[in-house]
Copies of this chain bind each other. A is one copy, B any other.
Amino acid sequence: MHIGDLRTPAAVVDLVKLGASLAAMRERANRLGVRLRPHVKTHKCVEIARLQHGGQEGPIAVSTLAEARAFASSGFRDITYAVPLAPQRGAEVAELVRAGLRLGVLVDHLDTVAALEACAGVENVRFPVWLKVDCGYHRCGVDPVGAVGLQVAARVGRSGHLELAGILTHAGHAYHCRNREEITAVARQERDVMVSFAGRLRQAGIPVPEVSVGSTPTMSAVDDLSGVTEIRPGNYAFHDVFQATIGSCRVRDCAFTVVATVVGSYPEAGRLVLDAGALALSKDPGPTHVDPACGFGRVCGLDGEELEGLHLASLSQEHGTVTAATATLAARFPIGTRMRIIPNHSCLAAACFDRYHVAEGDRIVGEWRPARGW
């Protein structure tokens, strides 16, 4: 089957680009002397996670318990659930741990520790626990210079039901950067905050086996990870317009595209309409802090090359509106023309699909089914 034969909208993963990005990150982790624990939230797909580890079911991070269950049932044995756990879902974690999965959970609050301890006691299991640290993103995590972090770590350390696996952070504020220099600065901050916080804990007599950091931008730019033991980039498998715009990758590194068909042609108005809207591309506004007119993705031909002068200006539920620089240009793409869109945010766009078509060049060579739900 040819990529142009797919029913649209369709999600396509370019196997060559995927392979190159995965190999580059593996080499980078090796060179920096850290374990690679890819965050699989971007693709949620066991086949890709195996490729990330050169064919093995290596350590991964997940964003939902549904992912944890799906990957555990495919042989992955070391998983970090890298989103703070709702205390009501402790029994589900216990069930996976009891079945032999090393499933690390995040804590950044004494209430969560108390809930986990109680649950582990009732369920008679021992939970590996990561202390989540705020290295500057200000979403989740303990303040690395405050008192709570030490209290939480000490309480975990004293617990018979919990094991402090290590400390963990995510420099999500790297997505606010405008270029590679800024990303490098955030990457150094991410590392320095964590190494310094690990030192504080160790000085207080609390062993810190692991120091885990990572985002795709910071891991694409960082030059030294002394004191860090593992990294958790996720988006690098697919990359996207956001990453390319802030300097984490090149546009041609993006492995995930959505194939769409021109279903409306209005050349006199310089406009085309595609059958890929917000339910196929997500409505992520993209890197507007760098490019306020970035639109909703890059418009490419079926060969994956960007089409100059076409702009994916707006999305409604099932329509993508493309503006063309001239009427002549718009007329070059009649109704029925196939295009490929590189989405602003591949994690959200990939989540719109129940299967990915695997492409080698213009041939479809396979189909992968991602995990869905929570």
Partner-B contacts on A (CB < 8 A): 7-9, 41, 63-64, 83-89, 108-109, 111-112, 115, 138-140, 172, 261, 263-265, 269, 271, 273, 275, 278-280, 282-285, 316-319, 321, 334-336, 345, 347-348, 351, 354, 372-374
Closest to A274 in B: B86
Q: Are A86 and B336 in contact (CB under 8 A)?
A: yes
Chain B min CB distance to A1 (Å): 13
- A111 vs B336: C-alpha distance in the bound complex, in angstroms? 9
Cβ–Cβ < 8 Å partners of A319 in chain B = 83, 139-140
**A109-B264, A111-B334 given as contacts; is B85 within 8 A of A279 (CB)?**
no
Cβ–Cβ < 8 Å partners of A354 in chain B = 372-373
- A280 vs B351: C-alpha distance in the bound complex, in angstroms? 11
- A372 vs B351: C-alpha distance in the bound complex, in angstroms? 12
Q: Are B318 and A63 in contact (CB under 8 A)?
A: yes
Q: A85-B263, A283-B348, A317-B347 are in contact. List 17 more A-B contacts (CB 8 A).
A: A8-B86, A8-B374, A41-B318, A86-B261, A86-B336, A88-B261, A108-B264, A112-B335, A139-B273, A140-B273, A275-B374, A278-B284, A278-B348, A282-B282, A282-B283, A283-B285, A285-B285
Looking at the complex, which one of B9, B140, B316 makes contact with A172 (CB distance below 8 Å)? Answer: B316
Chain B min CB distance to A316 (Å): 7
Question: What are 10 residue pairs bridging A and B, where the CB atoms are less than 8 Å apart in the complex?
Answer: A8-B88, A83-B263, A84-B273, A88-B261, A109-B265, A111-B265, A112-B335, A283-B283, A283-B285, A283-B348
Cβ–Cβ < 8 Å partners of A63 in chain B = 317-318
Cβ–Cβ < 8 Å partners of A373 in chain B = 354
Work out how many copies of this chain go into the complex. 2
| Chain A residues touching B, majority SS | loop
Closest to A335 in B: B111
Cβ–Cβ < 8 Å partners of A89 in chain B = 7
Q: Are A336 and B140 in contact (CB under 8 A)?
A: no
Looking at the complex, which one of B139, B321, B348 makes contact with A139 (CB distance below 8 Å)? Answer: B321
Q: Are A269 and B139 in contact (CB under 8 A)?
A: no
Chain B min CB distance to A285 (Å): 6
Chain B min CB distance to A353 (Å): 8
- A84 vs B274: C-alpha distance in the bound complex, in angstroms? 9
Chain B min CB distance to A8 (Å): 6
Cβ–Cβ < 8 Å partners of A348 in chain B = 278-279, 283, 317
Residue among A86, A139, A275, A282 with most chain B CB within 10 A: A86
- A347 vs B277: C-alpha distance in the bound complex, in angstroms? 12
Residue among A261, A264, A285 with most chain B CB within 10 A: A264
Chain B min CB distance to A177 (Å): 16
